[in-house]
Amino acid sequence: MDNKAQVLIVGGGPAGISAGITLARSGIDVIILERGSYCGSKNMFGGAIYTQPTKEIFPDFEANAPIERKTVKHNYMLLTEKESTVISHFDVEANTSYSVVRGKFDRWMAEEAKKAGVVIATETVVKELIVKDKKVVGVKTELEDYYSDIVILADGVNSLLARQIGLRKRIEPKDVALGVKEVIKIGSDKINERFNLTDDTGSISEIIGYPMSEMLGLGYIYTNKDSIVVGFGIALDELVKRKLKPYELLDKLKEHPSISTLIKDGEVTEYSAHLIPEGGFKKLPKLYGNGVLVVGDAAMLVDNIHWEGTNLAMMSGKFAAETAIYAINNNNFSADCLKLYNEKLNNSFIIKDLKSYKNLMPVMHKREKSFTGYYIKKVNAFFKMFTSVDSVPKRTKFRQFIKSIFTDRNIFVLLQDGLAVLKLLFGAIK
Ligand SMILES: Cc1cc2nc3c(=O)[nH]c(=O)nc-3n(C[C@H](O)[C@H](O)[C@H](O)COP(=O)(O)OP(=O)(O)OC[C@H]3O[C@@H](n4cnc5c(N)ncnc54)[C@H](O)[C@@H]3O)c2cc1C
């Protein structure tokens, strides 16, 4: 393989492959350098990929890609230690997302990219960027150097390379979550029965509260064809501050009476963990420089409230590729030319959405006790009261419940919570 290409891409995840295939389809020669033995071998997520953005890059993916189940049901489970209140949205015609196994799906995307002309060098770890006259001109791997007009950094959440050239700072524990999950094999019949699904339809459950009550963390359950994914994401500083062990939290989650019945008699076939960038809009790094663009998780592009990451990765990869094509056509690889990438991001849903939620993480860091603790308990307490039959007049029970809201919690804290919700709402629609 020639060690020169018009564009080099570091990382063969959704961001890197989407950038690569977009470039190759325009006749640009492009090499993806991936450290894993194949694309996807190092990657894990919850998770679900999103139909519309995936179709933009891979129009026929629904017919050809290794997908597990089409999501038709979203459950929101509010858990205390012994109780749960579940809100479920079911839409048999929904076509928003599919559960996939990243090891299989990323590998399939990589094969599609190869068919389009992308060269993929696996088992190739990029050690550092080669910078000449303040411009990135290539990369050093363990074995050899590669050169190009533009380097796209798609190397994921840690992106040591973006840090090397000062585009990013070291990520702080409060701006990153640890995602942990187990894959539990129980067979498709039991999944269909327990989740009320058919063979190719699936569900996503978001778990708020126990065992992460009063913490900045959420649990999840995804359904694959014949396995269930149970896991959670928690802010790294919570784990450190509270000296928590991730596998103990996962065990508690699995032992909850509402969850244990779903996974009963299953066999754990995989345990994995990965970081998720959670800094949001206020922590976005610089996304371009002379001869370089940063995409996907390396650029911290994750919308954590909607659990969107792969779609931001794919679309940022596409925008970076379009920018590289423009730069190649104009033979101009300066930061001034590559800032077009920033403009594309700004004009898209990516930055608009991250901006809408710019207050989310600062607010949640201050009010986690309320939103994942107190109110979850109160919702469950309400339904316990509402469904109890004990010859106490309903009016007495309602009064007691309303009174308890103000006796259990200081009025000023309630007001602060209310203001925080308003701040989030106004931030989202402004
Ligand atoms: C627990 C968890 C659950 C999630 N759930 C969802 C979900 O349900 N839906 C969703 O859309 N998103 C989800 N996400 C987020 C999503 O996985 C990421 O946003 C997405 O994978 C980012 O894609 P990427 O290509 O930028 O990075 P990655 O997928 O991390 O790919 C980076 C690639 O770069 C390679 N690499 C790194 N360094 C080097 C190097 N020096 N040299 C060569 N190669 C290198 C890696 O091996 C890897 O293949 C979840 C994440 C986690 C951790």
Q: Are 153 and 139 part of one and the same domain? A: yes
Closest-CA residue to 34 (of 21, 19, 17, 54): 17
Average pLDDT (118-123) is 98
Which of 21, 37, 45 for a ligand 1 pocket mutation test, highest count of atoms within 8 Å of Cβ?
Answer: 45
The last residue of a domain, from among 228, 256, 277 = 277
pLDDT at 1: 59
Q: Are 16 and 47 part of one and the same domain? A: yes
The last residue of a domain, from among 231, 252, 277 = 277
Q: Are 389 and 402 part of one and the same domain? A: yes
Cis-peptide, bond into residue 257, ω within 30° of zero: no
Average pLDDT (278-300) is 96
Query: How buried is residue 138: exposed, middle or buried, by Cβ count under 10 Å (0-12/13-18/19+)?
Result: buried
| Rg of the Cα atoms in the chain | 23
| 43 CA to centre of ligand 1 in angstroms | 6
In a domain, 88, yes or no: no
Q: Are 121 and 246 part of one and the same domain? A: no
Residues 300-306: contacts with CB within 8 Å, 24+ apart?
Answer: 300/157, 300/168, 300/175, 301/277, 301/350, 301/354, 302/276, 302/277, 302/278, 303/353, 303/354, 303/357, 304/177, 304/233, 304/276, 304/278, 304/280, 304/360, 304/361, 305/357, 305/360, 306/353
Which of 99, 108, 125, 276 for a ligand 1 pocket mutation test, highest count of atoms within 8 Å of Cβ?
Answer: 276
> Which residue's CA lies nearest to atom 1 of ligand 1?
179
Closest-CA residue to 9 (of 342, 317, 309): 317
| 93 CA to centre of ligand 1 in angstroms | 29
In a domain, 34, yes or no: yes
Cα 171 to Cα 217: distance, rounded to the nearest angstrom: 18
Q: Are 195 and 322 part of one and the same domain? A: no
In a domain, 83, yes or no: no
> Which residue's CA lies nearest to atom 8 of ligand 1?
47
In a domain, 237, yes or no: yes
- If one compares 52 and 424, the residue with the highest pLDDT of the two is 52
Query: Which 8-state DSSP code applies to residue 134?
Result: T
Query: pLDDT by residue (tens digit) across 304-333?
Result: 999 999 999 999 999 999 999 999 999 999
> Which residue's CA lies nearest to atom 26 of ligand 1?
296
Listed in sequence order, the residues at least 6 apart from 254 whose beta carbon sits closer than 8 Å to its beta carbon are 182, 230, 260, 263
Split at pLDDT 50, 70, 90, the class of 272 is very high
Q: Are 352 and 378 part of one and the same domain? A: no
pLDDT at 183: 97
Q: Count CB neighbours of 98 within 10 A.
A: 23
Beta strands 176-185 and 227-235, pairing class: antiparallel
Q: Which atom of ligand 1 is closest in space to residue 48's alpha carbon?
A: 8
**Which domain, by its residues, includes 242?**
174-277
Count of domains for the chain: 3
Average pLDDT score, the chain: 96
Q: Are 206 and 306 part of one and the same domain? A: no
Cα 336 to Cα 134: distance, rounded to the nearest angstrom: 13
| 220 CA to centre of ligand 1 in angstroms | 18
* End-to-end Cα, the chain, rounded Å: 51
Average pLDDT (193-220) is 97
Q: Are 269 and 194 part of one and the same domain? A: yes
pLDDT at 48: 98
In a domain, 74, yes or no: no
| 394 CA to centre of ligand 1 in angstroms | 51
Helix (H, G, I), strand (E, B) or coil at 264: coil
Predicted confidence (pLDDT) at residue 195 exceeds the cutoff of 80: yes
Report the percentage of the chain scoring pLDDT > 70: 100
Query: pLDDT by residue (tens digit) across 23-42?
Result: 999 999 999 999 999 999 98
In a domain, 71, yes or no: no
Q: Are 139 and 22 part of one and the same domain? A: yes
In a domain, 76, yes or no: no
In a domain, 21, yes or no: yes
Q: Is the dihedral of CA 312, 315, 317, 322 positive or negative?
A: negative
Q: Are 28 and 122 part of one and the same domain? A: yes
Strand (E) or helix (H) holding 253: helix 246-255
* Residue 314 identity (one-letter amino acid): M
Task: Encode 74-84: b = buried (16+ Cβ within 10 Å), e = exposed.
Answer: bbebbbbeebb
Cα 54 to Cα 415: distance, rounded to the nearest angstrom: 42
> Which residue's CA lies nearest to atom 39 of ligand 1?
155
pLDDT at 349: 97
What residues are in contact with ligand 1 under a 6 Å CB criterion? Answer: 10-16, 33-36, 42-43, 45-48, 125-126, 154-156, 179, 181, 231, 233, 274, 276, 296-298, 302, 307-311, 313
> Which residue's CA lies nearest to atom 50 of ligand 1?
45
Q: What is the pTM of this model?
A: 0.96
The last residue of a domain, from among 225, 257, 277 = 277
Q: Are 218 and 328 part of one and the same domain? A: no
- If one compares 408 and 140, the residue with the highest pLDDT of the two is 140
Q: Are 137 and 251 part of one and the same domain? A: no
Split at pLDDT 50, 70, 90, the class of 427 is confident
Predicted confidence (pLDDT) at residue 89 exceeds the cutoff of 90: yes
* Residue 114 identity (one-letter amino acid): K
pLDDT at 426: 85
